[in-house]
Amino acid sequence: MRLFVLENAPTAMLISCGPLAALRGWGLISVLVYLMFVFLVSWILTVTRNLLVRKPKKLILESITISHYVEKIRWSLDLMGIEYVEEENCGIMGIFFTGLMVPAIRQGSTRVSGSNFILKYLNGKCAHLGEESDKKEATTVSKVAFLRASSEAFELEKEFDKMGENIRHFLYTDALNSKNAVSTGLKVWGAYQPTIPLWQRLLLRAIIPILLVFMKTVLKLKKKIARERLVLAKETFKKVDALLSDGRKYLTATPNPTFVDVTFAALAAPLLIMDGPAYTCGRAIEDSRMTRSMFTDEVLKEVDAFRASPAGKFALRMYADHRGVRRTSAESGK
């Protein structure tokens, strides 16, 4: 079981919000205070569970389903054959529910967050973490070779992480300023994702107007800034084009894919808007996936240009050749 029975309490509290507000004549401020109280209850229950429940032996991936930074870690774990249990939260609300950032991995009393720090941690622990799955079947790639990092690899990962932020800003600015912003937000932030706790999905529906205002304000989702971010992302694309121009199959001229290749492909993937379940390797159901209909023609023009470029074709090839295996256990999502 993923949750305490008590952790169903937030769902009951959400369901009772409407009747309570009507009965007591609450205004907007009172409703917001009540919702914040729900956040607090959820956080307390999550912390209590982490302290009291016996820690699972398997690796836990704390995630937001659609996040490309989560996909970077999810894909790396899958490719190395490391089994894990994925625990999903709704969009950025996971910060409120757990008080912590994702992606994160948890094993025993150890928790590591941030995609680059997670890969460094796995580099130190890969032999131990992969021991059980290696006995059952050969891993797709060597863990040591996949995680081996040169100064060039670290610099590329750092640049690709910034590229991922720029792509996210560019796409968010277009999608969250459109007339369909609410439906888009519900879709990609997990309102229809069955592996996310019901109470979070209900809460997302209740507060999405506030969440959209928060996102547009904090992230400064303005067209001028978005265009500047796209220019920066394109500079990275050109660098990848140059790396591939000598005919190498992978970005650091290795015989097999490494974390650098996965990092670029995963963080560039939102700008590819791929059809089907390739992105997340089927984790996101159809109603939770990005689609071309979410964006304006201006954005779709950039999407098509990127897909036709050497960098875009490389990312698509990475998905076609190396994204067909999931290593989640039967417990995932429960």
What is the per-residue pLDDT across 80-116, written as a single tens digit (0 to 9) for each?
888 999 999 887 765 655 556 789 998 887 889 999 9
Q: Where are the alpha helices (DSSP H) in 176-273?
A: 181-188, 198-218, 223-244, 259-268
Q: Which of 12, 14, 88, 6 is nearest to 47 (CA)?
A: 6
Question: In this model, does residue 51 exceed pLDDT 60?
Answer: yes
> Is 153 within 8 Å of 141 (Cβ atoms)?
no
What pLDDT is recorded for position 262?
98
Query: What tokens appear for 258 in the block?
Result: 């490494």
CATH number of 151-322: 1.20.1050
Local structure of residue 60 (DSSP, 8 states): E
- Each residue of 244-264: pLDDT tens digit? 999 999 999 999 999 999 999
Residues 6+ apart with CB under 8 A from 197: 2, 3, 7, 11, 89
Among 16-20, 186-190, 198-202, which range has the highest average pLDDT? 186-190
C-alpha to C-alpha distance for 211 and 198, rounded to whole angstroms: 18
Neighbouring residues of 159: CB distance < 8 A, sequence distance ≥ 6:
236, 239
pLDDT in tens, 156-180: 999 999 999 999 999 999 999 999 9
Q: How confident is the model at residue 1 (pLDDT cuts 50, 70, 90)?
A: very low
- In this predicted structure, the answer to whether residue 269 has a pLDDT above a threshold of 80 is yes
| Domain span(s) for CATH 3.40.30.10 in the chain | 5-147
Q: What is the pLDDT of residue 182?
A: 97
**pLDDT band per the 50, 70, 90 thresholds, residue 300:** very high
The torsion of the CA quartet 239, 319, 261, 287, rounded to 10 degrees, works out to 90
pLDDT band at 317 (very low <50, low <70, confident <90, very high): very high
Alpha-carbon torsion, ordered 165, 170, 173, 178, to 10 deg: -140
Q: Distance between CA 146 and CA 144 in Å, rounded?
A: 6
Q: Is residue 38's pLDDT more than 50? A: yes
- Report, at the CATH architecture level, how domain 5-147 is classified: 3-Layer(aba) Sandwich (3.40)
Ranges for all domains in the chain classified under CATH 1.20.1050: 151-322
Q: Which two tokens stand for residue 39?
A: 């956040």
At 29, give phi and psi (nearest 5°): -60, -45
Please determine, for residue 329, whether its predicted confidence score (pLDDT) is greater than 70.
no
Best mean pLDDT range from 17-21, 26-30, 258-262, 324-328: 258-262
CA pair distance 204, 184, nearest whole angstrom: 12
| Amino acid identity at 157 | E
- Cis omega before residue 197 (within 30°)? no
Rg (CA), the chain: 21
Question: According to the model, what pLDDT value does residue 325 have?
Answer: 63
Q: What is the pTM of this model?
A: 0.81
Task: Give the mean pLDDT of 275-301.
Answer: 94
What does the pLDDT read at residue 96? 54
pLDDT one-digit tens code per residue, 65-76: 999 999 999 999
Closest C-alpha to 220, from 169, 164, 295: 169
Residue 229: exposed, middle, or buried by beta-carbon count in 10 A (0-12, 13-18, 19+)?
buried
Residue 257 near residue 322, CB atoms below 8 Å? yes
